Each structure stands twice: as structure tokens, then as C-alpha cells.
């Protein structure tokens, strides 16, 4: 048995490290445990966006209309490998249930509250950790193929407008002023100036780990398989049999979180969205802003380390081998949509996005004990919501009322 610490955070991704830093700033002694080390999972390969305007849940009537067409294309924006279809059926039923207008309105309100908190917390957090120079404010451009696709997007923009989100609808000539070189098939666009990004998500997460270490925190490699609640502490049990003890534990292990939560009796329907991308050299394209091709389910982002083409959703779990034909299909489309793109010299990646069927994360205490705090299931929005989640987790760890109402994020809501 190792020496007891105040807090053990399980998971060294962007959410786990942000929570660890926020807890450390409250005067707590914190250790972070991760099966591979900092920035080894989805935190390394995401599109690098702080998508604060992305308040609409993936589970929505709009996605239900698109899903049948998308599912027929094994390389399209949404796919379920046949080998995984039976296993994911219960999750898909919950997802379908979450698409009702009433539930979408509820999820949108909850998502907006977390987005607002995350945006308010972001710059102070970046300043605290010395990472503010990595922040970019270059906006996002969503483009549409024709009048019909643009009009179909308008209800979503009306919902954003209702929540005070700034945007500007554009025609072809105006689009070219923001991002030259788009194929003429994209006749309409919408620009959101409040869309921020980070220079490189992997480098940002590693910088958080470095800051945490400089402030006295420890990051250790350990594959955690179980938790054991005690009266005033929690035992954290690793695959090699070693046991660490802490007064409190934060479970933020991404796509593996529900497996660990199941050892304390929690049944949380977490699934894995397998995300794919290709990162091209920096000179692959003169990219001025992040461009979203919503009808095709992917984005093109400018990072300090290259041009990243990625996105789409493959609901395929943790065990199936990667299908990099999905990366190749997105890259082929990106070349057609941005004819000036040089597609050579790219590095492919696949990572696991931890997603819950109503598109909201699980943030709150465990049913078995208040000494365990869940903070996982952010789907596409882990980077975006990391600072806000860290604030909530620090509040819970120190017995303070959370900065926003977290009822909608209850891990027990299912």
C-alpha cells in the first residue's frame, strides 16, 4: 500500500489533467494515473477546437433524418461495423430515445450552461498554466452544398441565436474572403467568430502535464481495473495488483471509464466513437480558419504541427482493428472540396471518443460513495469542456456548490 494522497485522478487526457490542476490549485495533493501516460488517447488527435458554439446534441431529429443514408455508406460520416451492430443496439435505442424534441431542448440547455462555464474558465485556466499563447481565435466556417442543405441548417442556427451565439451567413463571394480555394459546389456558408482553437491538442495536453508536475503533482503509469470504496477513502486497484489509496478519486479515463465504474456497481451506457484523421504537413494548404463540411461529417483544421483532416463517427467499440480507409475517404473528399490541398505526406490516427447516448457527459459523484467523482463521456467536446469540467470537479472535491447545476450530467441519469 502506497502513501495516501488527497486525490487520485484516473486519466491523463485533457479532462483528467485539467481536473488535477484545478484540484491542485485548491491546495490538494494530487496524483494522476494513466494506462499509457499523458495525451495518449483522444486528447492527442482531436481537431483542436474549443467549440463553444456547438451546443446542439448529436442526438437530435436532424441526425435521425441523415442517419439511414449515412449508415448505408461504410466509409461515410456515421457507420456501425457489422461485427459490432448487435453489441451497440441498446446504446442506439437510448440514442434514438434522446432525439425527441423535448429531450433535445433539455440537452441543449444543459450543454449551453456547461459551454458558457467552460468559455468563462478557459482563459484564466490557460493563463494559470502558462498555455495562453497556444490559444487561437480564428473562428469556424461551416459550408453547405446548395440552398436545400443551407436551409436545413437554419433551425440549428436559430437555436444558437436564442442562446446568444454570434454567427454570419455567407454567400459564395463572402466565403472566399474568409477561406479562399473552396470548390464552387459550396454555395452557402456560416461563420462563427466565437470558435476558438488550440495550436496543437497533444502539445497542449503535454504542457498541462508539465505544469502539473512543476507544481508538485505526480503522473504515473498504471492500468486501473477497479475501485474499492472505504469509509473515508477509496482504494484504487491496478492490473498488476498494486493498491493506491486516496481520500477522493476522480474517474476520467475516457472510453475505459465505464468499465472501472462498473466495479462499484455503476451501469453507465458509455460507447466509443472511433474518430479518424490524417495530419498533413503545414504547407499542405493555406488554411485561414477551421472549415466544417457538415454534410460529410468532417473538418479541416490548421494546427501548429500541420493540417488535420478528420472527424466522422464509427461506433465500433474498443477491440475492432482500425479501418483507415475512413481516413483515406475523408482525405479524398477534402482534396475534392479544397482543390489546392496537397494530400501527400500525412500521418493517420484513430482514437476513442467516450460518448453517452444523450450527448451529455457524466459529471457528478458515484452512487456508492461521494468520495468518487465521475468526469467522462464528453464525446467530441472533451477539449472544449475541459476547463468547465475541471471547475465543477474541484468544487465537488472541496465540498462547494458546483458553478452550474449538474443535475443533467448525473452519472445515474440512465
- Start-end of CATH 3.50.50.60 domains in the chain: 5-44+203-267+359-409
As a whole number of Å, the end-to-end CA separation of the chain is: 35
Q: Is the pLDDT of residue 198 over 90?
A: yes
Alpha carbons 99 and 414: distance in angstroms, whole number: 15
Mean pLDDT on 143-151: 96
Query: Could you tell me which CATH number the domain at 56-99+134-194+270-355 has?
Result: 3.30.9.10
Residue 104: the pLDDT is: 92
Residue 46 has pLDDT above 80, yes or no: yes
CA atoms of 401 and 397, how far apart (whole Å) = 10
H or E stretch covering 144 = strand 140-144
Q: Which residues contact 313 (CB under 8 A, 6 or more apart)?
A: 58, 77, 78, 79, 273, 274, 275, 297
Q: Write out pLDDT tens, residues 262-272.
A: 999 999 999 99
Average of per-residue pLDDT across 150-172: 93
pLDDT of 62: 74
Per-residue confidence (pLDDT) for residue 21, from 0 to 100: 98
Give pLDDT, residue 65: 73
- Top CATH class of 5-44+203-267+359-409 equals alpha beta
pLDDT single digits (tens) 56-106: 888 777 776 777 777 767 888 888 898 898 999 999 999 999 999 999 999
Average pLDDT of the chain to the nearest whole number: 94
| CA gap 9, 33 in Å, rounded | 6
Instruction: Report whether pLDDT(2) > 70.
Output: no
* pLDDT reading at 382 higher than 80: yes
pLDDT at 248: 98
* β-pair type (290-293, 140-144): parallel
pLDDT of residue 72: 65
Helix (H) or strand (E) holding 332: helix 325-337
pLDDT score of 194 = 87
Which pLDDT score is estimated for 266?
A: 97
pLDDT value at residue 351:
93
Contact 260, 236 (CB under 8 A): no
351 vs 104, 240, 311, 408, CA distance in Å?
27, 25, 10, 27
> What pLDDT was estimated at residue 64?
67
3-state secondary structure of 301: strand
297-352 residue pLDDT tens: 999 999 999 999 999 889 999 999 999 999 999 999 999 999 999 999 999 999 99
With a pLDDT cut of 90, the percent of the chain lying above it is: 87
Write out the residue limits of the CATH 3.30.9.10 domain(s) in the chain. 56-99+134-194+270-355
Amino acid at each position: 500500500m502506497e502513501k495516501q494522497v488527497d486525490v487520485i485522478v484516473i486519466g491523463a487526457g485533457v479532462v483528467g489533467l485539467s481536473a488535477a490542476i484545478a484540484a491542485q490549485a485548491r491546495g490538494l495533493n494530487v496524483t494522476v494515473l494513466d494506462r499509457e501516460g499523458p495525451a495518449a488517447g483522444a486528447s492527442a488527435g482531436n481537431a483542436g477546437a474549443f467549440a463553444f458554439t456547438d451546443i446542439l446534441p448529436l442526438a437530435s431529429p436532424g441526425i435521425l433524418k441523415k442517419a439511414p443514408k449515412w449508415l448505408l455508406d461504410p466509409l461515410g460520416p456515421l457507420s456501425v461495423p457489422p461485427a459490432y451492430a448487435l453489441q451497440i443496439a441498446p446504446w442506439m435505442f437510448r440514442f434514438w430515445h434522446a432525439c425527441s424534441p423535448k429531450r433535445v431542448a433539455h440537452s441543449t440547455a444543459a450543454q449551453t450552461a456547461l459551454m458558457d462555464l467552460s468559455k468563462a474558465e478557459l482563459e484564466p485556466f490557460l493563463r494559470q498554466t502558462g498555455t495562453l499563447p497556444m490559444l487561437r481565435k480564428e473562428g469556424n466556417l461551416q459550408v453547405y452544398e446548395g440552398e436545400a442543405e443551407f436551409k436545413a441548417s437554419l433551425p440549428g442556427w436559430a437555436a444558437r441565436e436564442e442562446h446568444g451565439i454570434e454567427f454570419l451567413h455567407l454567400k459564395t463571394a463572402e466565403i472566399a474572403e474568409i477561406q479562399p480555394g473552396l470548390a464552387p459546389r459550396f454555395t452557402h456558408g456560416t461563420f462563427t467568430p466565437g470558435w476558438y482553437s488550440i495550436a496543437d491538442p497533444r502539445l497542449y495536453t503535454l504542457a498541462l502535464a508539465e505544469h502539473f508536475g512543476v507544481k508538485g503533482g505526480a503522473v504515473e503509469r498504471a492500468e486501473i481495473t477497479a475501485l474499492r470504496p472505504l469509509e473515508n477513502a477509496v482504494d484504487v486497484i491496478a492490473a498488476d495488483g498494486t493498491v493506491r489509496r486516496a481520500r477522493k478519486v476522480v474517474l476520467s479515463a475516457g472510453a475505459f471509464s465505464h468499465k472501472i465504474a462498473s466495479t462499484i456497481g455503476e451501469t453507465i451506457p458509455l460507447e466509443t466513437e472511433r474518430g479518424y484523421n490524417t495530419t498533413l504537413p503545414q504547407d499542405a494548404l493555406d488554411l485561414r480558419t477551421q472549415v466544417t463540411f457538415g454534410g460529410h461529417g468532417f473538418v479541416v483544421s490548421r494546427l501548429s504541427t500541420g493540417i488535420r483532416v478528420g472527424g466522422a463517427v464509427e461506433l465500433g467499440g474498443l477491440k475492432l482493428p482500425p479501418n483507415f480507409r475512413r481516413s483515406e475517404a475523408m482525405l479524398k473528399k477534402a482534396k475534392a472540396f479544397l482543390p489546392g490541398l496537397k494530400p501527400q505526406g500525412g500521418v493517420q490516427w484513430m482514437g476513442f471518443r467516450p460518448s453517452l447516448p444523450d450527448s451529455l457527459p457524466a459529471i457528478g459523484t458515484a452512487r456508492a460513495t461521494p468520495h468518487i467523482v465521475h468526469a467522462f463521456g464528453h464525446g467530441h467536446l472533451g477539449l472544449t469542456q475541459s476547463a468547465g469540467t475541471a471547475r465543477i470537479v474541484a468544487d465537488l472535491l472541496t465540498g462547494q456548490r458546483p458553478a452550474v447545476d449538474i443535475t443533467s450530467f448525473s452519472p445515474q441519469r440512465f
